[in-house]
Chain A
Amino acid sequence: MAVLSKLVKWARIKSPWIIHYNSGGCNGCDIEVVAALTPRFDVERFGILLKGSPRHADVLVVTGPVTRQTKKRLVRIYNQMSDPKFVLAVGTCTMTGGVFRGGYGVVAGVDEVIPVDVFVPGCPPKPEAIIHGVVKLLEKLQKL
Protein backbone atom coordinates (compact mmCIF):
# COMPACT_ATOMS: atom_id res chain seq x y z
CA MET A 1 0.00 0.00 0.00
CA ALA A 2 2.81 2.32 0.85
CA VAL A 3 4.25 1.92 -2.62
CA LEU A 4 0.90 2.65 -4.21
CA SER A 5 0.30 5.78 -2.16
CA LYS A 6 3.80 6.98 -3.02
CA LEU A 7 3.04 6.44 -6.68
CA VAL A 8 -0.23 8.34 -6.40
CA LYS A 9 1.53 11.23 -4.68
CA TRP A 10 4.23 11.31 -7.33
CA ALA A 11 1.62 11.36 -10.08
CA ARG A 12 -0.32 14.10 -8.32
CA ILE A 13 2.70 16.37 -8.03
CA LYS A 14 3.82 15.74 -11.60
CA SER A 15 0.45 16.44 -13.20
CA PRO A 16 -1.77 18.89 -11.33
CA TRP A 17 -4.61 19.50 -13.77
CA ILE A 18 -6.38 22.79 -13.35
CA ILE A 19 -9.81 24.13 -13.99
CA HIS A 20 -10.21 27.86 -14.47
CA TYR A 21 -13.21 29.73 -13.15
CA ASN A 22 -13.92 33.43 -13.48
CA SER A 23 -16.25 34.49 -10.70
CA GLY A 24 -17.05 37.87 -12.22
CA GLY A 25 -13.65 39.50 -12.52
CA CYS A 26 -12.52 41.99 -15.13
CA ASN A 27 -10.78 39.45 -17.43
CA GLY A 28 -7.36 40.86 -16.52
CA CYS A 29 -6.36 37.91 -14.34
CA ASP A 30 -7.90 35.50 -16.82
CA ILE A 31 -5.74 36.58 -19.70
CA GLU A 32 -2.73 36.39 -17.42
CA VAL A 33 -3.66 32.83 -16.46
CA VAL A 34 -3.90 31.99 -20.17
CA ALA A 35 -0.62 33.81 -20.82
CA ALA A 36 0.96 31.54 -18.20
CA LEU A 37 -0.17 28.55 -20.27
CA THR A 38 1.23 29.85 -23.58
CA PRO A 39 4.80 29.43 -24.88
CA ARG A 40 6.67 32.22 -23.09
CA PHE A 41 5.80 31.08 -19.57
CA ASP A 42 4.55 27.58 -20.32
CA VAL A 43 3.34 26.04 -17.08
CA GLU A 44 2.79 22.82 -18.96
CA ARG A 45 6.41 21.98 -18.16
CA PHE A 46 5.20 21.35 -14.59
CA GLY A 47 2.59 18.96 -15.97
CA ILE A 48 -0.13 21.56 -15.55
CA LEU A 49 -2.93 21.18 -18.04
CA LEU A 50 -6.12 23.23 -18.39
CA LYS A 51 -9.21 21.03 -18.24
CA GLY A 52 -12.80 21.75 -19.17
CA SER A 53 -14.56 19.70 -16.51
CA PRO A 54 -14.30 20.02 -12.73
CA ARG A 55 -14.37 16.23 -12.43
CA HIS A 56 -11.01 15.96 -14.20
CA ALA A 57 -9.26 18.67 -12.23
CA ASP A 58 -7.19 18.73 -9.04
CA VAL A 59 -6.78 22.47 -8.70
CA LEU A 60 -9.48 25.10 -9.00
CA VAL A 61 -8.06 28.41 -10.20
CA VAL A 62 -10.48 31.18 -9.23
CA THR A 63 -10.32 34.81 -10.36
CA GLY A 64 -12.65 37.70 -9.62
CA PRO A 65 -14.44 39.07 -6.58
CA VAL A 66 -17.29 36.46 -6.66
CA THR A 67 -20.47 38.19 -7.76
CA ARG A 68 -23.74 37.20 -6.12
CA GLN A 69 -24.86 35.60 -9.38
CA THR A 70 -21.84 33.30 -9.63
CA LYS A 71 -21.54 32.40 -5.93
CA LYS A 72 -23.85 29.38 -6.10
CA ARG A 73 -22.12 28.08 -9.20
CA LEU A 74 -18.69 28.40 -7.64
CA VAL A 75 -19.79 26.22 -4.73
CA ARG A 76 -21.31 23.74 -7.15
CA ILE A 77 -18.09 23.44 -9.15
CA TYR A 78 -16.08 23.05 -5.97
CA ASN A 79 -18.37 20.24 -4.81
CA GLN A 80 -18.08 18.45 -8.13
CA MET A 81 -14.31 18.18 -7.91
CA SER A 82 -13.00 14.93 -6.53
CA ASP A 83 -10.81 14.81 -3.40
CA PRO A 84 -8.11 15.82 -2.71
CA LYS A 85 -8.85 19.24 -4.20
CA PHE A 86 -7.02 22.53 -3.98
CA VAL A 87 -7.96 26.12 -4.64
CA LEU A 88 -5.63 28.74 -6.07
CA ALA A 89 -7.10 32.24 -5.85
CA VAL A 90 -5.55 34.62 -8.38
CA GLY A 91 -5.76 38.40 -7.97
CA THR A 92 -6.47 40.95 -5.30
CA CYS A 93 -10.24 40.72 -5.87
CA THR A 94 -10.27 37.14 -4.68
CA MET A 95 -8.91 38.20 -1.28
CA THR A 96 -10.87 41.29 -0.39
CA GLY A 97 -12.96 42.23 -3.36
CA GLY A 98 -10.23 44.71 -4.31
CA VAL A 99 -11.52 47.78 -6.07
CA PHE A 100 -15.06 46.34 -6.17
CA ARG A 101 -15.34 46.07 -2.38
CA GLY A 102 -18.53 47.79 -1.27
CA GLY A 103 -20.40 47.13 -4.50
CA TYR A 104 -23.85 45.64 -3.95
CA GLY A 105 -23.24 42.85 -6.47
CA VAL A 106 -20.13 41.28 -4.96
CA VAL A 107 -19.47 38.92 -2.08
CA ALA A 108 -15.85 40.23 -1.90
CA GLY A 109 -13.53 37.31 -1.32
CA VAL A 110 -13.36 33.70 -2.47
CA ASP A 111 -12.63 32.51 1.08
CA GLU A 112 -16.10 33.69 2.10
CA VAL A 113 -17.48 30.95 -0.13
CA ILE A 114 -14.97 28.09 -0.41
CA PRO A 115 -11.67 27.24 1.40
CA VAL A 116 -8.57 28.58 -0.36
CA ASP A 117 -5.06 27.06 -0.29
CA VAL A 118 -2.94 29.71 -1.98
CA PHE A 119 -3.64 33.39 -2.70
CA VAL A 120 -1.71 35.18 -5.43
CA PRO A 121 -1.81 38.98 -4.90
CA GLY A 122 -1.65 41.56 -7.68
CA CYS A 123 -4.04 43.38 -9.94
CA PRO A 124 -3.53 41.42 -12.04
CA PRO A 125 -0.60 39.24 -10.89
CA LYS A 126 2.07 38.70 -13.52
CA PRO A 127 2.34 35.19 -14.99
CA GLU A 128 5.58 34.80 -13.02
CA ALA A 129 3.61 35.41 -9.82
CA ILE A 130 0.97 32.89 -10.83
CA ILE A 131 3.70 30.30 -11.49
CA HIS A 132 5.18 31.11 -8.08
CA GLY A 133 1.78 30.48 -6.53
CA VAL A 134 1.51 27.15 -8.33
CA VAL A 135 4.95 26.11 -7.09
CA LYS A 136 3.90 26.98 -3.53
CA LEU A 137 0.85 24.80 -4.01
CA LEU A 138 3.02 21.93 -5.26
CA GLU A 139 5.10 22.25 -2.08
CA LYS A 140 1.90 21.87 -0.13
CA LEU A 141 1.07 18.75 -2.11
CA GLN A 142 4.48 17.33 -1.27
CA LYS A 143 3.67 17.47 2.42
CA LEU A 144 0.33 15.77 1.98
Chain B
Amino acid sequence: MLEEEVEEKRVFKIPVGPQHPALKEFENFTFTVDGEKVIDVDFRIGYTHRGIEKLAESKTYIQNLYLCERICGICSAAHQGCYAQTVEELAGITAPPRGVYIRTLIWELERIHSHLLWLGVAAHEIGFDTLFMLIWRDREVVMSLLEMISGNRVNYAMSTVGGVRRDISDELKHKILKGLDVLEERTKYYKEVCMKEQTILARAANVGILSKEKTLKLNAVGPTARASGVDVDIRRDDPYGAYDEVPFEVIVYDTCDVLARILVRVDETIQSILMSRWILENLPSGEIRTKFARKIAENEVLGRVEAPRGELLYYIKSNGTDKPERLKVRTPTLANLLPVAEMLKGGYIADIPIVLAGIDPCFACMDRALFIDENSEKTWVWDKEQLRIYSIKWYKEHGKEVVRERWKQ
Protein backbone atom coordinates (compact mmCIF):
# COMPACT_ATOMS: atom_id res chain seq x y z
CA MET B 1 0.00 0.00 0.00
CA LEU B 2 2.84 2.32 0.88
CA GLU B 3 4.41 1.74 -2.48
CA GLU B 4 1.20 2.89 -4.12
CA GLU B 5 1.27 6.07 -2.07
CA VAL B 6 4.78 6.75 -3.24
CA GLU B 7 3.66 6.26 -6.80
CA GLU B 8 0.90 8.78 -6.25
CA LYS B 9 2.78 11.55 -4.49
CA ARG B 10 6.14 10.99 -6.08
CA VAL B 11 8.22 13.76 -4.61
CA PHE B 12 11.46 12.10 -5.36
CA LYS B 13 12.34 8.50 -5.53
CA ILE B 14 15.59 6.66 -5.85
CA PRO B 15 14.97 3.12 -7.05
CA VAL B 16 15.70 -0.07 -5.19
CA GLY B 17 19.41 -0.15 -5.11
CA PRO B 18 21.81 -2.82 -4.32
CA GLN B 19 22.84 -2.72 -0.80
CA HIS B 20 25.76 -2.28 1.33
CA PRO B 21 28.81 -4.52 1.16
CA ALA B 22 28.26 -6.78 4.12
CA LEU B 23 24.64 -7.10 5.10
CA LYS B 24 22.67 -7.00 1.96
CA GLU B 25 19.64 -9.14 1.98
CA PHE B 26 16.23 -7.81 1.24
CA GLU B 27 14.17 -6.10 3.83
CA ASN B 28 11.95 -3.09 3.56
CA PHE B 29 11.72 -0.68 6.50
CA THR B 30 9.32 2.23 6.61
CA PHE B 31 10.26 5.02 8.99
CA THR B 32 7.86 7.76 10.00
CA VAL B 33 9.96 10.82 10.79
CA ASP B 34 9.30 14.24 12.26
CA GLY B 35 12.22 16.38 11.14
CA GLU B 36 15.23 14.39 12.24
CA LYS B 37 13.46 12.20 14.78
CA VAL B 38 12.15 8.75 14.01
CA ILE B 39 8.59 8.32 15.28
CA ASP B 40 7.55 4.96 13.98
CA VAL B 41 9.03 2.01 12.15
CA ASP B 42 7.33 -0.54 9.98
CA PHE B 43 8.92 -3.37 8.06
CA ARG B 44 8.11 -5.86 5.40
CA ILE B 45 10.04 -9.10 5.40
CA GLY B 46 10.03 -12.12 3.15
CA TYR B 47 12.03 -11.03 0.13
CA THR B 48 14.42 -13.92 0.57
CA HIS B 49 11.66 -16.50 1.03
CA ARG B 50 12.83 -19.61 -0.79
CA GLY B 51 10.43 -22.22 0.59
CA ILE B 52 13.06 -24.14 2.54
CA GLU B 53 10.73 -25.69 5.11
CA LYS B 54 8.54 -27.22 2.41
CA LEU B 55 11.57 -28.27 0.37
CA ALA B 56 12.98 -30.07 3.42
CA GLU B 57 9.96 -32.38 3.47
CA SER B 58 10.96 -33.78 0.07
CA LYS B 59 14.58 -34.51 1.02
CA THR B 60 16.08 -37.24 3.19
CA TYR B 61 17.58 -36.53 6.62
CA ILE B 62 21.10 -36.61 5.18
CA GLN B 63 20.26 -34.33 2.23
CA ASN B 64 18.64 -31.86 4.62
CA LEU B 65 21.98 -31.40 6.41
CA TYR B 66 23.22 -29.47 3.41
CA LEU B 67 19.96 -27.61 2.88
CA CYS B 68 19.83 -26.42 6.50
CA GLU B 69 23.45 -25.35 6.32
CA ARG B 70 22.48 -22.99 3.53
CA ILE B 71 19.68 -21.24 5.38
CA CYS B 72 22.31 -18.75 6.46
CA GLY B 73 25.84 -18.51 5.12
CA ILE B 74 27.23 -16.75 8.18
CA CYS B 75 25.96 -19.06 10.93
CA SER B 76 25.96 -22.18 8.75
CA ALA B 77 27.58 -24.43 11.35
CA ALA B 78 25.03 -23.42 13.99
CA HIS B 79 22.19 -24.34 11.62
CA GLN B 80 23.72 -27.62 10.53
CA GLY B 81 24.85 -28.56 14.01
CA CYS B 82 21.44 -27.78 15.48
CA TYR B 83 19.71 -29.81 12.78
CA ALA B 84 22.12 -32.73 13.28
CA GLN B 85 21.71 -32.84 17.05
CA THR B 86 17.93 -32.53 16.80
CA VAL B 87 17.81 -35.49 14.38
CA GLU B 88 20.12 -37.44 16.70
CA GLU B 89 17.67 -36.90 19.52
CA LEU B 90 14.82 -37.83 17.19
CA ALA B 91 16.52 -41.11 16.26
CA GLY B 92 17.69 -41.76 19.82
CA ILE B 93 21.41 -41.96 19.07
CA THR B 94 24.28 -40.09 20.71
CA ALA B 95 27.40 -38.81 18.99
CA PRO B 96 30.77 -40.00 20.40
CA PRO B 97 32.58 -37.45 22.65
CA ARG B 98 35.31 -36.63 20.11
CA GLY B 99 32.68 -35.84 17.50
CA VAL B 100 30.80 -33.61 19.94
CA TYR B 101 33.99 -31.75 20.87
CA ILE B 102 34.95 -31.12 17.23
CA ARG B 103 31.43 -29.91 16.53
CA THR B 104 31.63 -27.51 19.48
CA LEU B 105 35.02 -26.28 18.25
CA ILE B 106 33.52 -25.44 14.86
CA TRP B 107 30.65 -23.60 16.57
CA GLU B 108 33.08 -21.47 18.55
CA LEU B 109 35.36 -20.75 15.58
CA GLU B 110 32.27 -19.72 13.68
CA ARG B 111 31.27 -17.38 16.49
CA ILE B 112 34.71 -15.74 16.25
CA HIS B 113 34.35 -15.24 12.49
CA SER B 114 30.77 -13.99 12.75
CA HIS B 115 31.47 -11.51 15.55
CA LEU B 116 34.58 -10.14 13.82
CA LEU B 117 32.58 -9.79 10.61
CA TRP B 118 29.93 -7.86 12.52
CA LEU B 119 32.47 -5.60 14.23
CA GLY B 120 33.88 -4.69 10.83
CA VAL B 121 30.40 -3.95 9.50
CA ALA B 122 29.58 -1.80 12.53
CA ALA B 123 32.77 0.19 11.95
CA HIS B 124 31.78 0.63 8.31
CA GLU B 125 28.30 1.84 9.29
CA ILE B 126 29.71 4.69 11.35
CA GLY B 127 32.12 5.62 8.58
CA PHE B 128 35.22 4.19 10.26
CA ASP B 129 36.46 2.25 7.23
CA THR B 130 40.03 1.86 8.47
CA LEU B 131 38.83 -0.29 11.35
CA PHE B 132 36.55 -2.22 8.97
CA MET B 133 39.48 -3.14 6.73
CA LEU B 134 41.75 -3.99 9.67
CA ILE B 135 39.21 -6.28 11.32
CA TRP B 136 38.41 -8.04 8.05
CA ARG B 137 42.12 -8.59 7.50
CA ASP B 138 42.41 -10.31 10.86
CA ARG B 139 39.20 -12.23 10.30
CA GLU B 140 41.02 -14.01 7.45
CA VAL B 141 43.07 -15.82 10.13
CA VAL B 142 40.02 -17.64 11.47
CA MET B 143 38.75 -18.22 7.92
CA SER B 144 42.03 -19.98 7.10
CA LEU B 145 41.70 -22.12 10.23
CA LEU B 146 38.20 -23.17 9.19
CA GLU B 147 39.44 -23.86 5.69
CA MET B 148 42.25 -26.04 7.07
CA ILE B 149 39.81 -28.06 9.17
CA SER B 150 36.96 -28.47 6.70
CA GLY B 151 38.25 -27.55 3.24
CA ASN B 152 35.81 -24.70 2.76
CA ARG B 153 35.72 -21.16 4.06
CA VAL B 154 32.02 -20.64 4.63
CA ASN B 155 29.82 -23.74 4.44
CA TYR B 156 31.93 -26.26 6.32
CA ALA B 157 29.75 -29.39 6.07
CA MET B 158 31.34 -30.69 9.27
CA SER B 159 28.39 -31.98 11.28
CA THR B 160 26.51 -35.05 10.22
CA VAL B 161 23.83 -37.07 11.95
CA GLY B 162 25.76 -39.05 14.56
CA GLY B 163 28.93 -36.94 14.80
CA VAL B 164 31.23 -35.04 12.48
CA ARG B 165 32.68 -35.84 9.06
CA ARG B 166 36.32 -34.89 9.47
CA ASP B 167 38.86 -35.51 12.21
CA ILE B 168 41.47 -33.09 13.54
CA SER B 169 45.06 -34.37 13.40
CA ASP B 170 47.77 -33.39 15.92
CA GLU B 171 49.56 -31.35 13.29
CA LEU B 172 46.39 -29.41 12.51
CA LYS B 173 45.76 -28.90 16.23
CA HIS B 174 49.13 -27.22 16.55
CA LYS B 175 48.37 -24.90 13.63
CA ILE B 176 44.97 -23.93 15.04
CA LEU B 177 46.50 -23.12 18.44
CA LYS B 178 49.00 -20.83 16.73
CA GLY B 179 46.21 -19.08 14.80
CA LEU B 180 44.22 -18.62 18.01
CA ASP B 181 47.18 -16.80 19.62
CA VAL B 182 47.19 -14.25 16.80
CA LEU B 183 43.42 -13.81 17.06
CA GLU B 184 43.53 -13.33 20.83
CA GLU B 185 46.14 -10.60 20.59
CA ARG B 186 44.27 -8.75 17.83
CA THR B 187 40.84 -9.06 19.50
CA LYS B 188 42.23 -7.64 22.77
CA TYR B 189 43.58 -4.71 20.77
CA TYR B 190 40.16 -4.14 19.18
CA LYS B 191 38.54 -4.20 22.60
CA GLU B 192 40.83 -1.39 23.65
CA VAL B 193 39.99 0.51 20.45
CA CYS B 194 36.26 0.11 21.04
CA MET B 195 36.50 1.32 24.62
CA LYS B 196 38.74 4.32 24.03
CA GLU B 197 38.33 5.55 20.47
CA GLN B 198 36.31 8.77 20.42
CA THR B 199 34.85 8.05 16.97
CA ILE B 200 33.15 4.93 18.26
CA LEU B 201 32.10 6.37 21.61
CA ALA B 202 30.52 9.41 19.97
CA ARG B 203 28.44 7.30 17.62
CA ALA B 204 27.63 4.31 19.82
CA ALA B 205 27.26 5.42 23.44
CA ASN B 206 23.63 6.16 24.43
CA VAL B 207 22.37 5.35 20.93
CA GLY B 208 19.60 2.84 20.21
CA ILE B 209 18.49 2.31 23.79
CA LEU B 210 16.50 -0.85 24.52
CA SER B 211 15.53 -1.06 28.20
CA LYS B 212 15.63 -4.33 30.12
CA GLU B 213 11.83 -4.40 30.51
CA LYS B 214 11.32 -3.93 26.77
CA THR B 215 13.93 -6.58 26.01
CA LEU B 216 12.03 -9.12 28.07
CA LYS B 217 8.67 -8.03 26.75
CA LEU B 218 9.70 -8.12 23.09
CA ASN B 219 11.70 -11.31 23.46
CA ALA B 220 15.11 -10.23 22.21
CA VAL B 221 17.71 -13.01 22.03
CA GLY B 222 21.47 -13.44 22.00
CA PRO B 223 23.97 -10.57 22.24
CA THR B 224 21.14 -8.04 21.78
CA ALA B 225 19.49 -9.25 24.99
CA ARG B 226 22.78 -9.63 26.85
CA ALA B 227 23.69 -6.02 26.04
CA SER B 228 20.48 -4.95 27.79
CA GLY B 229 21.30 -6.69 31.02
CA VAL B 230 19.30 -9.89 30.40
CA ASP B 231 21.40 -12.84 31.47
CA VAL B 232 20.44 -15.52 28.92
CA ASP B 233 22.65 -17.94 27.06
CA ILE B 234 21.44 -21.31 25.80
CA ARG B 235 24.97 -22.65 26.10
CA ARG B 236 24.74 -22.30 29.88
CA ASP B 237 20.99 -22.47 30.50
CA ASP B 238 20.32 -25.61 28.45
CA PRO B 239 23.74 -27.14 27.74
CA TYR B 240 24.18 -29.02 24.48
CA GLY B 241 27.27 -30.32 22.68
CA ALA B 242 30.28 -30.07 24.98
CA TYR B 243 29.17 -26.86 26.70
CA ASP B 244 28.47 -28.56 30.02
CA GLU B 245 32.19 -29.33 30.25
CA VAL B 246 33.83 -26.30 28.61
CA PRO B 247 34.42 -23.44 31.06
CA PHE B 248 33.20 -20.04 29.87
CA GLU B 249 31.66 -16.82 31.09
CA VAL B 250 28.38 -15.35 29.90
CA ILE B 251 29.03 -11.72 29.00
CA VAL B 252 26.35 -9.29 30.16
CA TYR B 253 26.41 -5.50 29.89
CA ASP B 254 23.66 -3.27 31.22
CA THR B 255 24.07 0.07 29.43
CA CYS B 256 21.46 -1.06 26.85
CA ASP B 257 23.02 0.93 23.96
CA VAL B 258 24.92 0.14 20.77
CA LEU B 259 28.24 0.41 22.60
CA ALA B 260 27.15 -2.40 24.93
CA ARG B 261 26.25 -4.51 21.89
CA ILE B 262 29.73 -3.92 20.49
CA LEU B 263 31.44 -4.77 23.77
CA VAL B 264 29.35 -7.91 24.35
CA ARG B 265 30.47 -9.22 20.98
CA VAL B 266 34.14 -8.33 21.48
CA ASP B 267 34.17 -10.04 24.88
CA GLU B 268 32.36 -13.07 23.49
CA THR B 269 34.99 -13.34 20.78
CA ILE B 270 37.70 -13.47 23.44
CA GLN B 271 35.69 -16.09 25.36
CA SER B 272 35.30 -18.15 22.19
CA ILE B 273 39.05 -18.06 21.58
CA LEU B 274 39.68 -19.32 25.13
CA MET B 275 37.02 -22.00 24.72
CA SER B 276 38.45 -23.19 21.39
CA ARG B 277 41.86 -23.51 23.02
CA TRP B 278 40.42 -25.47 25.95
CA ILE B 279 38.57 -27.80 23.59
CA LEU B 280 41.70 -28.48 21.53
CA GLU B 281 43.78 -29.16 24.62
CA ASN B 282 41.17 -31.50 26.10
CA LEU B 283 40.09 -33.26 22.91
CA PRO B 284 39.00 -36.81 23.86
CA SER B 285 40.21 -39.71 21.72
CA GLY B 286 38.06 -42.26 19.91
CA GLU B 287 35.55 -42.36 17.09
CA ILE B 288 34.16 -39.21 15.50
CA ARG B 289 30.75 -40.56 14.47
CA THR B 290 28.29 -43.37 15.00
CA LYS B 291 26.12 -45.11 12.45
CA PHE B 292 22.62 -43.90 11.82
CA ALA B 293 19.67 -45.86 10.45
CA ARG B 294 18.10 -43.92 7.57
CA LYS B 295 14.52 -44.33 8.77
CA ILE B 296 13.23 -42.72 11.95
CA ALA B 297 10.10 -43.86 13.80
CA GLU B 298 7.30 -41.39 14.56
CA ASN B 299 8.57 -38.76 16.98
CA GLU B 300 8.92 -35.02 17.44
CA VAL B 301 11.74 -32.97 18.95
CA LEU B 302 12.44 -29.29 19.58
CA GLY B 303 16.14 -28.48 19.59
CA ARG B 304 17.87 -25.21 20.27
CA VAL B 305 21.38 -23.80 20.14
CA GLU B 306 23.01 -20.44 20.78
CA ALA B 307 23.94 -19.25 17.28
CA PRO B 308 26.24 -16.20 17.03
CA ARG B 309 23.12 -14.00 16.80
CA GLY B 310 21.08 -15.67 19.51
CA GLU B 311 18.76 -18.55 20.17
CA LEU B 312 18.12 -20.74 17.14
CA LEU B 313 15.17 -23.15 17.26
CA TYR B 314 14.60 -26.30 15.22
CA TYR B 315 11.45 -28.39 15.40
CA ILE B 316 11.45 -31.69 13.54
CA LYS B 317 8.67 -34.25 13.27
CA SER B 318 9.33 -37.71 11.83
CA ASN B 319 6.81 -40.19 10.44
CA GLY B 320 8.66 -43.49 10.08
CA THR B 321 10.18 -42.77 6.66
CA ASP B 322 13.62 -41.40 5.73
CA LYS B 323 12.20 -37.92 5.24
CA PRO B 324 10.96 -35.50 7.92
CA GLU B 325 7.24 -34.78 8.00
CA ARG B 326 7.75 -31.24 9.21
CA LEU B 327 10.78 -29.02 9.74
CA LYS B 328 10.37 -25.66 11.41
CA VAL B 329 13.13 -23.11 11.97
CA ARG B 330 13.02 -19.93 14.06
CA THR B 331 16.08 -17.80 13.43
CA PRO B 332 17.43 -15.25 15.94
CA THR B 333 17.05 -12.26 13.60
CA LEU B 334 13.30 -12.80 13.44
CA ALA B 335 13.15 -12.60 17.23
CA ASN B 336 15.25 -9.44 17.19
CA LEU B 337 13.17 -7.55 14.63
CA LEU B 338 10.57 -6.14 17.04
CA PRO B 339 13.23 -5.01 19.53
CA VAL B 340 15.07 -3.17 16.74
CA ALA B 341 11.90 -1.24 15.91
CA GLU B 342 11.79 -0.19 19.56
CA MET B 343 15.45 0.88 19.50
CA LEU B 344 14.95 3.09 16.46
CA LYS B 345 11.98 5.01 17.87
CA GLY B 346 12.99 8.39 19.23
CA GLY B 347 16.41 8.30 17.62
CA TYR B 348 17.82 10.36 14.77
CA ILE B 349 17.66 9.33 11.12
CA ALA B 350 21.44 9.40 11.12
CA ASP B 351 21.54 6.67 13.77
CA ILE B 352 19.44 4.22 11.79
CA PRO B 353 22.30 2.34 10.04
CA ILE B 354 24.28 1.61 13.20
CA VAL B 355 21.22 0.75 15.30
CA LEU B 356 19.94 -1.61 12.62
CA ALA B 357 23.35 -3.19 12.28
CA GLY B 358 23.39 -3.44 16.09
CA ILE B 359 21.25 -6.58 16.13
CA ASP B 360 23.49 -8.13 13.45
CA PRO B 361 20.65 -8.79 11.03
CA CYS B 362 21.57 -11.95 9.26
CA PHE B 363 18.75 -13.13 7.16
CA ALA B 364 16.98 -9.93 6.83
CA CYS B 365 18.59 -6.66 6.04
CA MET B 366 17.06 -3.55 4.74
CA ASP B 367 17.64 -2.68 1.12
CA ARG B 368 15.82 0.58 1.06
CA ALA B 369 14.02 2.85 3.41
CA LEU B 370 10.88 4.81 2.77
CA PHE B 371 10.58 8.10 4.66
CA ILE B 372 7.35 9.84 5.55
CA ASP B 373 7.67 13.31 7.05
CA GLU B 374 4.64 13.76 9.31
CA ASN B 375 4.32 17.53 8.92
CA SER B 376 4.67 17.98 5.19
CA GLU B 377 3.56 14.47 4.17
CA LYS B 378 6.56 14.37 1.91
CA THR B 379 7.59 10.85 0.98
CA TRP B 380 10.81 9.66 -0.44
CA VAL B 381 12.78 6.46 -0.77
CA TRP B 382 16.39 5.87 0.09
CA ASP B 383 18.58 2.89 -0.31
CA LYS B 384 20.90 1.72 2.38
CA GLU B 385 24.08 3.16 0.94
CA GLN B 386 22.57 6.62 0.57
CA LEU B 387 21.32 6.41 4.13
CA ARG B 388 24.81 5.53 5.34
CA ILE B 389 26.35 8.45 3.47
CA TYR B 390 23.64 10.74 4.81
CA SER B 391 24.30 9.61 8.36
CA ILE B 392 28.04 10.28 8.10
CA LYS B 393 27.42 13.71 6.60
CA TRP B 394 24.80 14.59 9.20
CA TYR B 395 27.15 13.71 12.04
CA LYS B 396 29.83 15.91 10.54
CA GLU B 397 27.45 18.86 10.73
CA HIS B 398 25.49 18.18 13.91
CA GLY B 399 27.70 15.64 15.65
CA LYS B 400 29.21 17.91 18.28
CA GLU B 401 26.00 19.19 19.86
CA VAL B 402 24.31 15.80 19.78
CA VAL B 403 27.25 14.05 21.37
CA ARG B 404 27.53 16.78 24.03
CA GLU B 405 23.86 16.32 24.83
CA ARG B 406 24.34 12.58 25.14
CA TRP B 407 27.29 12.89 27.48
CA LYS B 408 25.22 15.10 29.78
CA GLN B 409 22.70 12.33 30.38
Residues of chain A at the chain B interface (Cβ within 8 Å): 19-22, 24-35, 37-40, 50, 52-54, 64-65, 67, 69-70, 73, 76-77, 80, 98-100, 102-106, 123-124, 126
Contact = CB atoms under 8 A, between A and B. Distances in A.
A106 B70 contact: no
Contacts of B17: 52-54, 77
Contacts of A106: 50-51
Nearest to B362: A27
B74 A52 contact: no
Residues of A contacting B: mostly: mixed
B45 to A, nearest CB: 10
Nearest to A39: B137
Contacts, number: 141
A143 to B, nearest CB: 27
Contact of B58 (A38, A100, A102): A102
Interface residues of B, number: 49
Contact of B21 (A34, A39, A77, A100): A34
A20 B18 contact: yes
Contacts of A52: 17-18, 20, 383-386, 389
B47 A35 contact: no
A46 B293 CA distance: 52
Interface of B: 14-22, 24-26, 46-52, 54-55, 58, 66-67, 70-74, 76, 117, 120, 132-134, 136-137, 140, 143, 153-155, 362-363, 383-386, 389
B137 A27 contact: no
Nearest to A62: B18
Given A28-B74, A76-B16, A40 B140 contact: yes
A67 B50 contact: yes
Contacts of A64: 48
